[in-house]
């Protein structure tokens, strides 16, 4: 059974670093790419970056200077770190998987992050 589960702090202070974890089950990180997508409160969806099945990473150019994605295949986890958080980074953060034949089929339940002092 495929599952993706995001976890992380619910509250981050302005200028601090956000650290999120996507823990997956039911598939291998060496066979699927994992993407991070965020949704500012009441707004639409924005791709942030990806960890490819082969370990390569790519980032949304708008976030690239602040964003880092890594993984631990032995723990079935993908990590997101984003620094210099501001209030407009408040929203829900999702991870989703992509395979060639079935792009973005499963999504995590999301983790709500509030940036506030």
Which residues bind to other proteins, rule: CB under 8 A?
Answer: 35, 37, 44-47, 58, 60-61, 94, 98, 102-105, 107-110
Nearer Cβ to other proteins, position 16 or 47? 47
Residue 68 pairs with which residues in a beta bridge?
81
The nearer residue to other proteins, 16 or 23, going by C-beta atoms, is 23
Q: Measured from the CB of residue 36, what is the shortest distance to other proteins in angstroms? A: 11
Residue 95, Cβ neighbours under 10 Å: how many? 28
Report the residue number, 12 or 108, with the smaller CB distance to other proteins: 108
From the list 92, 33, 36, the residue with the least C-alpha distance to 67 is 36
Minimum distance between the CB of residue 16 and other proteins, rounded to whole angstroms?
Answer: 25
Rg of the chain over Cα atoms, rounded to whole angstroms, equals 13
CB of 97 to other proteins, least distance (A): 11
């Amino acid at each position: 059974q495929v599952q993706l589960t995001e976890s992380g702090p619910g509250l981050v202070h302005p200028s601090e670093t956000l650290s999120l974890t996507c823990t997956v089950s039911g598939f291998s990180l060496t066979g699927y790419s994992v993407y991070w997508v965020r949704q500012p409160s009441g707004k639409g969806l924005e791709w942030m970056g990806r960890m490819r099945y082969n370990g390569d990473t790519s980032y949304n150019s708008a976030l690239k200077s602040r964003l880092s994605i890594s993984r631990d295949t032995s723990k079935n986890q993908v990590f997101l770190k984003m620094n210099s958080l501001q209030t407009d980074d408040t929203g829900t953060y999702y991870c989703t998987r992509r395979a060639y034949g079935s792009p973005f089929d499963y999504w995590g339940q999301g983790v709500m992050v509030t940036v506030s002092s």
